Amino acid sequence: STSSPPESQTQPQQLAAAEHGLESVKRKLCRLVASSLSATVPGLDVEPMLEESKAGFGDYQCNNAMSLFSSLRGSSDANFQNPRAIGQAILNNLPPSDIVESTSVAGPGYVNIVISSDWIAQRIQHMLIYGIKTWAPTLPIKRAVVDFSSPNIAKEMHVGHLRSTIIGDTVARMFEFANIEVLRRNHVGDWGTQFGMLIEFLFEQFPNWEEVGNQAIGDLQSFYKASKEKFDNKESDFKVKAQQAVVRLQQGEERYRAAWKKICEISRNEFESVYKRLGVELEEKGESFYNPYILPVLEELTKKGLVTEDKGAQIILIEGQSALIVVKKDGGFNYASTDLAALWYRLNVEKAELIVYLTDVGQKLHFHKLFSAASMAGWLPDQNEYPKTSHVGFGLVLGLDGKRFRTRCTEVVRLVDLLDEAKSQCKAQLIERLTENGKIADWTNDELDRTSEAIGLGAVKYADLKNNRLTNYTFSFEKMLSDKGNTAVYLQYAHARICSIIEKASKDIDELTTKASITFIHADERALGLHIIRFQEVLEQACTDLFPHYLCDYLYSLSEAFSKFYTSCQVVGSPEETSRLLLCQATAVVMRQCFNFLGITPVYKL
């Protein structure tokens, strides 16, 4: 009955489960279906095909019958004469379980499964007592490298790097929640030929550059632009000087090293302020960090017979693709040589079992070639084993004109300006709303400021994360700052409203959590409950496929399920108040956990 204590109080072994994380509903059902399948068709190794029901017959449906029928065609067994009979057999062989309330066969042989309402209620209450971490997915790895953000020194940190930063942070947060140790790596482009030009320009502009403060050098982006102009100017001898500077830097000449360090430091300070504002933590191991490893790694690859010479360059032939150049004609190393060394380091020194790279889809081929070379070298085992590498690509950010996102004054949108704009629009909106509602007097300017920063930055992040990352998306302040539809602003309001319902009841929620229990009376109440417990399987899938938009879709439909519930079920002052308050609390807890994955700071007062 629903008044029985939550699941972990019933048996001591379930307490242990609370520490290690529980299995998701879907996983549990898959195991039931798997066991039924091996009883139904012994000896056949069939993967359970289970999905959320769309038809409304049950909560989940098993679709194995139809495909089993095609593979068993011609069998003389009376059970296998049509898909429906197979469906019935699968149903009959389902082991009894307290998760399942009822089952039925529908249509051509779908097996519909209805989850026990008591079980749903107990699962939610268990989470409220032991915390949302009990819903952490179990993934087969302990340590991962997430290579993200990775801007280039002195070049601008553009929206592409913003996507990498935002998506990468979400991936890292999901992994961390799943108890994986994450090495958050910023593979900063702090090495390469552009430094010759920058250093030479620094020497020219600031003859006593050692003494001038970073401030004087100012905006590195304009610095880069000006030096590039000079570099491209055919009349001057600057280009030659810049090329000599690269050599001197690479040979380790002190004055050049010091200048390089200074330029990196200025850039780093700029990046840091953006990360700080976005609430993103990263550890910088830039391209230069891997320099000492390049030679030995290339030696190993040469010994293994992978490296060949081609018109003075050293290359690795990749099946079906152009070769991977690992040493340029002039003897210099490149992006690929560094990435090989970095991969070697991550596998052998950092002992990562999964290495994830976040860049735009334009670099897909580069990573394909890199991973192929690593496989040929025997660094990576077969596809289904760890360690694994994965390139998580994403599309472009487009402006309202459908072209690559840019602003009028600068060529590429500067990140800080973009965040400032989001914030100030949010603030204006908030002030207008509060004034209309006569609540503006309750707010201090500081509160207004912090709230607009949280909503504005959350809106920018969410507008990015809610899209399938592989597609391009259009950057629109108007859309992302709307308080209607699938936006962070809408979700912030939805969450704040739930919190205010709970507050209005003025009950001790912690006490209710352990003393009262959840009961479903109305169908919308149960639907919300079922949606809440699905959190775990959605997260599991998002971690496996590395698609943050699964979380956004889930979050939005969760708030819709809540709205539906709140429209049909009175909470405060109703006979079901305590149970419903617990459901409100569980919704808010799950929403905040999703906000956390997405890097959104929840706002309570709105």
**Residue 57 Cβ, how far from ligand ARG at the closest point, in Å?**
47
**Residue 40 Cβ, how far from ligand ARG at the closest point, in Å?**
48
**Residue 335 Cβ, how far from ligand ARG at the closest point, in Å?**
7
**Residue 341 Cβ, how far from ligand ARG at the closest point, in Å?**
10
Binding of ligand ARG at residue 288 (CB under 6 A)? Answer: no
Query: Which is nearer to ligand ARG, 83 or 168 (by Cβ)?
Result: 168
Q: Looking at 23, 147, 270, 537, which residue binds ligand ARG (CB under 6 A)?
A: 147
Q: Looking at 359, 372, 451, 513, which residue binds ligand ARG (CB under 6 A)?
A: 359
Residues shown for the chain: 606
CA 256, CA 245: separation in Å to the nearest integer? 7
| Nearest by Cα to 551 from 566, 536, 563 | 536
Task: Please enumerate in sequence order all residues whose Cβ is within 8 A of that of 489, keeping only pairs 6 or more positions apart, or say none.
Answer: 426, 455, 459, 480, 481, 482, 483
Identify the residue whose tokens are 């390139």.
391
Neighbours of 284 (CB within 10 A): 17
**Residue 334 Cβ, how far from ligand ARG at the closest point, in Å?**
11
Using the contact rule CB under 6 A, the part of the chain among 59-67, 144-152, 313-321, 580-588 near ligand ARG is 144-152
Using the contact rule CB under 6 A, the part of the chain among 116-124, 145-153, 271-279, 542-550 near ligand ARG is 145-153
Q: Looking at 112, 150, 389, 585, which residue binds ligand ARG (CB under 6 A)?
A: 150
Using the contact rule CB under 6 A, the part of the chain among 7-15, 147-155, 295-303, 422-430 near ligand ARG is 147-155
Number of residues that bind ligand ARG (CB under 6 A): 10
**Residue 187 Cβ, how far from ligand ARG at the closest point, in Å?**
4
**Residue 186 Cβ, how far from ligand ARG at the closest point, in Å?**
9
**Residue 547 Cβ, how far from ligand ARG at the closest point, in Å?**
20
Task: Please enumerate in sequence order all residues whose Cβ is within 8 A of that of 277, keeping only pairs 6 or more positions apart, or say none.
Answer: 416, 419, 457
**Residue 202 Cβ, how far from ligand ARG at the closest point, in Å?**
21
Tokens of 149: 């953000």
Binding of ligand ARG at residue 369 (CB under 6 A)? Answer: no
What is the SS3 string spanning 22-60? CCCHHHHHHHHHHHHHHHHCCCCCCCCCEEECCCCCCCE
Q: Which of residues 73-132 bind ligand ARG (CB under 6 A)?
A: none
Q: Indicate the Cα dihedral angle 597, 598, 604, 606, nearest 10°.
A: -170
Query: Which is nearer to ligand ARG, 6 or 160 (by Cβ)?
Result: 160
Using the contact rule CB under 6 A, the part of the chain among 126-134, 148-156, 270-278, 348-356 near ligand ARG is 148-156
CA 17, CA 14: separation in Å to the nearest integer? 5
Binding of ligand ARG at residue 152 (CB under 6 A)? Answer: yes
CA 316, CA 326: separation in Å to the nearest integer? 7
Neighbours of 3 (CB within 10 A): 8
Tokens of 584: 């409100």
Query: Which is nearer to ligand ARG, 187 or 549 (by Cβ)?
Result: 187
Q: Looking at 201, 357, 379, 597, which residue binds ligand ARG (CB under 6 A)?
A: 357
Give bridge partners of residue 114 from the DSSP assignment: 102
573: left (phi over 0), alpha (psi -120 to 50) or beta: left
**Where are the extended beta strands (E) located within 294-341?**
307-310, 313-316, 324-327
**Residue 106 Cβ, how far from ligand ARG at the closest point, in Å?**
49
* Stretch 167-196: interaction string toward ligand ARG, x if CB under 6 A: --------------------x-x-------
Task: Please enumerate in sequence order all residues whose Cβ is within 8 A of that of 103, keeping only pairs 6 or more positions apart, or say none.
Answer: 58, 91, 94, 111, 112, 113, 114
**Residue 53 Cβ, how far from ligand ARG at the closest point, in Å?**
41
Q: Looking at 7, 169, 200, 339, which residue binds ligand ARG (CB under 6 A)?
A: 339
Identify the residue whose tokens are 């007062």.
605
CA 165, CA 282: separation in Å to the nearest integer? 9
Using the contact rule CB under 6 A, the part of the chain among 90-98, 149-157, 244-252, 476-484 near ligand ARG is 149-157
Query: Which is nearer to ligand ARG, 359 or 487 (by Cβ)?
Result: 359
**Where are the extended beta strands (E) located within 226-328?**
283-284, 307-310, 313-316, 324-327
Query: Which is nearer to ligand ARG, 137 or 151 (by Cβ)?
Result: 151
Tokens of 77: 């067994």
Strands 283-284 and 313-316: unpaired
Binding interface with ligand ARG (CB under 6 A): 147, 150-152, 187, 189, 339, 342, 357, 359
